[in-house]
């Protein structure tokens, strides 16, 4: 499972001109599901997302988590995060799960995030969405659940 996390002062997602999700202070999370992802990947990312200390304290140092600042999440499904661009000019998405595989896992991630008393908004899975956001910082971080298997040096 891959996610791009952006700290925002506000964000929204629309489909066909209708706003489906809107948040103030918090994180926009773009998420792609791999065909090999399991519940362990969902748990790993959930814990990282809610506990990552990327909000500033009074001195501006990254010291607070999403929970600490009582922030919200806008979670957007984005299979293109698994684009393979090594060959040719057209990306391949062979590493992304099919929609039938990905949607239940995406919904489980939403459920797990919501269980932490965090406001979780989203768009429409598989829909053509317009996402608007004001990146705060800017702060953008890439998370990959496969990293949990790699040793730190």
Spell out the domains of the chain, with CATH numbers in brackets: 2-147 (3.50.80.10)
Q: Is pTM beyond 0.85 here?
A: yes
Q: Is 37 helix (H, G, I), strand (E, B) or coil?
A: coil
Q: Is 116 helix (H, G, I), strand (E, B) or coil?
A: coil
d(CA 129, CA 19): 10
> Taking 60 as the threshold, does the pLDDT of residue 153 lie above it?
no
Give backbone dihedrals phi and psi of 106, rounded to 5 degrees, phi first.
-60, -45
Size of the chain, expressed as the number of residues it contains: 153
Tens of pLDDT, residue by residue over 42-72, are: 999 999 999 999 999 888 899 999 999 999 9
Do residues 39 and 108 lie in contact, with contact meaning Cβ atoms separated by under 8 Å?
A: yes
Could you give the residue numbers annotated as active site?
Answer: 78-80
Tens of pLDDT, residue by residue over 59-110, are: 889 999 999 999 999 999 999 998 888 998 988 888 899 999 999 999 999 9
């Amino acid at each position: 499972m891959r996610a791009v996390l952006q700290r925002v002062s506000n964000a929204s997602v629309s489909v066909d001109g209708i706003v489906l999700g809107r948040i103030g202070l918090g994180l926009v999370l773009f998420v792609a599901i791999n065909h090999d992802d399991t519940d362990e990947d969902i748990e790993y990312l959930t814990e990282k997302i809610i506990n990552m200390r990327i909000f500033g304290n009074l001195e501006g140092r990254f010291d607070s988590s999403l929970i600490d600042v009582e922030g919200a999440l806008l979670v957007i499904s984005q299979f293109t995060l698994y684009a393979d661009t090594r060959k040719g000019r057209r990306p391949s998405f062979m590493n992304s799960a099919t929609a039938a595989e990905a949607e239940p896992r995406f919904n489980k991630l939403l459920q797990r995030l919501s269980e932490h008393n965090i406001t979780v908004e989203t768009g429409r899975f598989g829909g053509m969405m317009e996402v608007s956001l004001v990146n705060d910082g800017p702060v953008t971080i890439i998370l990959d659940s496969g990293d949990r298997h790699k040793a730190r040096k």
